Structure 1
Amino acid sequence: MADPKGFMTTPRQDWPRRPVGERVRDWDEVYVPGKLLPIISKQADRCMDCGIPFCHDACPLGNLIPEWNDLVSREDWRAAADRLHATNNFPEFTGRLCPAPCESGCVLAINQPAVTIKNVEVAIADRAWELGFAPPRPPERLSGRTVAVIGSGPTGLAAAQQLTRAGHTVAVYEKDDRIGGLMRYGIPAFKMEKHHLEQRIEQMRAEGTKFRTSTAIGRDIGAVELRARYDAVVIATGATAWRELDVPGRELAGVHQAMEYLPPANRVCEGDLEVSPLSAAGKHVVIIGGGDTGADCLGTAVREGAASVTQLDIYAQPGAERDEDTDPWPTYPKIYRLSAAHEEAGELGSAPAADADARLFAASTLRLTGDADGQVRRLHLVEVDASRRPVADSGRTLPADLVLLALGFSGPDRGDGLIEQLGLELEPRGTIARDAGFATNAPGVFAAGDAARGQSLIVWAIAEGRAVAAAVDRHLTGSSRLPAPIGPYDRPMTV
């Protein structure tokens, strides 16, 4: 604890964002380059070195937050990087993409703004790369065992890196043409520029991990055939089976799933396309769904030059402060949060009909109507109460040339035949069933991440990858020294 009074003398200061008018003209990350490092040591001083650091429990990775806060306050970047990487394979991902449940569990957050844990984390990660503190760590010897990892999102990459470092020969199979899963084509570049992903992939290649892109297991290679090639298989395909909107007019042209809309926009940034075929330029856009995926669509549509963008959230607008009755500390509270995309839409007036920023709260879609050519033109909605019952005389319409469905995901996509070919058992909600050791009913086949847990946060995905790697290592060798931060049945803290 470098400054025992830091939490009393230093106010919270977040990484400043670039001006809205500047950042919506490009796809670069929204934060001001170089403005984090000058403030971060003092922010790390705010860590109280509490006797029981609840931030550990709030984060499924078990990040050693007080330890690396103290090291950052002393500007010992090498030691801070070592402590950070001891529990997290990809802190530059989580430092940019995670909603930071650790900050909700910060003891200081009981009655003050929490420590800027997420900003400290990303500062350490970026400094580690700049100063050469994240070199490849190839194994000293090979085990002679082989593992196939299906899926290259955060779970698959974390599992592959852990197993490679343990000495196993690992190949990662990805159905898309580039590695990264949703981090590649689902997350917009203004939230995380792709060079952060590329440097980790190159590190993993140098350690010995093999990557096979444009290969859908179940279609391009039979799942049974793949299983026969390897000593173990890890399924980390994510939960990509999107939820549908069952309302009249769903069949109209111009109504698309969020994950049909976001990948082409990312491909424009990758240089694959000049213009997205689903570009929002000049269109009135309505996004149905109030979560992070909807916010990603919002920021993308603003940058593409939409005529208007409105996001519908079926829940009532939350308050600015934690409700101690429903969301007591240290749980992750449902409060009003202003993402970069919402800040942009609010400042630019992108949704003139919205309640706040670009969002209409307590709004439920009734139907969609279109023109004579079958193109969507209007969205009809109604206000709902806390029980989602329509409020009388609250109906209204919005112009809608492009409607995006961001309603979440129900489980792994079954289109490639992977699940059926291996005869995998499923849970009632559609996720892959597994036992306490992450093993499925198919011998030698393990499941981890959203494909088995269900839709979750990136920190849970990485924790799953690390835990399943330990389970596979134990299966192959009889024991394991790899860390297993969570079990398959662990869940976030709730009331």
Structure 2
Amino acid sequence: MGKVTGFKEFERKNESLVAVKERIQNYKEFTIPLKTNDIEKQGSRCMDCGIPFCHSACPLGNLIPDFNDMVHKGEWKKALEILHATNNFPEFTGRLCPAPCEQACVLGIIKPSITIENLEKSIVEKGFSEGWITAKKPTASTGKRIAIVGSGPAGLAAAQQLNRAGHNVTVFERDQAIGGLLRYGIPNFKLEKEIIDRRITILKKEGITFKTNINVGVNYSVKELNNFDAIVLCGGATQRRSLQIKGSDAKGVVQAMDFLTQQTKVLFGEETKDQIVATDKNVIVIGGGDTGSDCIGTSNRQGAKSVTNFEIMPKPPVHRSETTPWPYWPLKLKTSTSHEEGCDRNWLISTKEFITDKNGNLTALKTVQVEWIHKPGEKPILKELPNTEKIWPCDLVLLALGFTGPEKTLSEQLGIETDFRTNYKASTKTYQTNVPHIFTAGDMRRGQSLIVWAISEGREAARNVDEYLMGYSNLPTKGKGDLPGV
């Protein structure tokens, strides 16, 4: 698998980046692809490790050593076939996935791991440039009609799989364009929307029907869904977490997703009233995850005067923590490209109050330093440190605190049971809700999660819908691809 001595001969090599001063002048992707020869060398670093942990860590069960080997041999078309066998949209995961596969790479025990994510992206981009990726219509129709609510990665994956099984698939999206959070929640500098559009064009040619500006349960009655033989709910976990403290209703305290969505809509000419911008403002982003990072990158592109980031958790170690040994996802400091563009990062800090002027406009916020008290067998306790209060002048606060679960509109109107986290309850084996012909997958079922989990659940749900309708299914299960013999 790969070149026997490849991991000894070649060092890990990542894509290079456009310089910060240049890339923050626009919203374009800023990675510079490696040359073909260099990519093939990266594929050859995949060692014959006997028991590969990489595809076990991948929620999709991608056949990673197999496509690495094909890249090493220059068999790019075969690599694409292997990649597509388990992953409908590697152009999305190759840009957005945090790559748990790389953290579980056996080579990573002794050396920097294989550049799996970049190999994935390189393979699919080669496929598009060579014209290998084309629409594949089903050879026969079952006559069954399926409604999919939500056009994010889970919905799109379910749609393509069910269409391949010969069903008549309609996807409903409440926004103006297809893609869900891929389109509106992910900044363009991480995923240019043309990347989504070219894939949607293929899905349309394959026979999938897309209907936008339709919010099922709001401007489209759930009774209309009775015309379908099965329904797959693939909405997001869009209920945003807020800070219930004094001044939280101040003008200038904004949910991160509102900020990011507005910028994307403006970029593509969609109507947006009263856009919130960071231009010439002192911006504070509360929340240290990917959404917070996206707010930092967007604020810098809008010309913020300063950008500060708060995180209530301790600063992670630079190297893998002993509490998360290989092959687990590591606890360690993550510095994103947005952080590198300019940001004052602060850990173990809690916001106590938003301070406003007499007109309700945000002028500052008050914080306190904290520490976490850990006792064996008990839930960690957050303790404020005395005499550590501080006032931070700011004009805009972006709340990137994550999400608490999906909206209740559909669960209430369709009679879907929810779990203790308010997620739509469904069997993890069948993805079937308490209403037999209604299934659910992705963030709506499992809560806020990774894009690879969304695609994986969309594929798994599709197989179970197919089996429910037909009594059997030829669609693949996780890790078993669409290729003969895989």
TM class by smaller structure: over 0.9
C-alpha displacement of 1:275: 9.3
Give the superposition deviation at 1:112: 1.3
Equivalent residue number for residue 493 of structure 1: none
Distance 1:82 1:116 in 2: 19
For structure 2, which runs of at least 5 residues remain unmatched after alignment?
Answer: 374-381, 480-486
Distance 1:67 1:38, change over 3 A: same
Residue 397, structure 1, aligned to residue 395, structure 2: no
Match of 1:378 among 340, 347, 364: 364
Shift of 1:93: 0.1
In the alignment, structure 1 residue 465 sits paired with structure 2 residue 462? no
Q: CA deviation at 1:225?
A: 2.6
Amino acid at match of 2:288: G
Per-residue deviation, residues 21-49 of structure 1 (Å, max 9, x unmatched): 110001111212x4354421111111112
Q: Determine whether 1:30 maps to 2:56.
A: no
Q: Distance in 2 between matches of 1:275 and 1:156?
A: 29
- Superposed, 1:155-170 pairs within 5 Å as 155-170=154-169
Query: Which 4+ runs in 1 deviate beyond 6 A?
Result: none
Secondary structure at 2:13's aligned position in 1?
A: coil
CA distance in 2, matches of 1:464, 1:108: 28
Which residue of the partner structure matches residue 46 of structure 2?
A: 47
RMSD across aligned positions (CA): 1.3
Partner of 2:121: 122
Match of 2:417, as an amino acid? E
1:200 aligns with 199
Paired residue type of 1:382: V
Q: For residues 224 and 273 of structure 1, do their structure 2 counterparts lie closer, same or farther at Cα, with a shift above 3 Å needed?
A: closer
Percent of paired sites with the same residue = 46
CA offsets per residue over residues 363-402 of structure 1, 9 Å max, x none? 1111110111100111111111124311222221212211
Q: Which residue of 2 aligns with 1:489?
A: none
Deviates most, 387-396 or 75-84? 387-396
In the alignment, which residue of structure 2 is the partner of 1:221?
220
| 2:340 matches 1:343 | yes
Please give the alpha-carbon distance, in whole angstroms, between the structure 2 residues aligned to 1:275 and 1:477. Answer: 47
Amino acid in structure 1 at the alignment position of 2:219: D
**Does 1:327 find its partner at 2:313?**
no
Q: Which runs of 5+ in 1 are unaligned?
A: 346-350, 487-495
| 1:274 CA displacement | 8.8
- TM-score scaled by length of structure 2: 0.95
Distance in structure 1 (CA, Å) of the matches to 2:35 and 2:430: 41
Deviation at 1:163, TM superposition (A): 0.3
Q: For the Cα contact (< 8 Å) 2:148–2:233, is it kept in 1?
A: yes
The normalised TM-score by structure 1 is 0.93
Residues 1:412 and 2:406 are matched in the alignment: yes
Q: What CA distance in whole angstroms lies between the structure 2 residues aligned with 1:25 and 1:307?
A: 15
What is the rounded CA distance, in whole Å, between the counterparts of 1:468 and 1:141 in structure 2?
Answer: 21
Query: Is contact 2:2–2:47 with CA below 8 Å preserved after alignment?
Result: no
Q: Secondary structure at the match of 2:309?
A: strand
1:443 and 2:436 aligned: yes
Q: How many residues align?
A: 470
The SS at the match of 1:462 is helix
Instruction: Name 1:14's counterpart in structure 2.
Output: 14
**Corresponding residue SS for 1:386:** strand
- 2:239 counterpart letter in structure 1: A
> How far apart are 1:337 and its partner, in Å?
1.5
Q: In structure 1, what is the equivalent of residue 311 of structure 2?
A: 313
| Deviation for aligned residue 1:443 | 2.7
Kept after mapping to 2: 8 A contact 1:261/1:278: yes
Find the counterpart in structure 2 of residue 362 from structure 1: 348
Name the aligned partner's letter for residue 333 of structure 1.
Answer: P
Q: Which residues of 2 match residues 121-200 of structure 1 at below 5 A?
A: 121-200=120-199
1:106 match: 105
After TM superposition, list the pairs within 5 Å mapping 1:189-268 onto structure 2. Answer: 189-226=188-225, 228-268=226-266
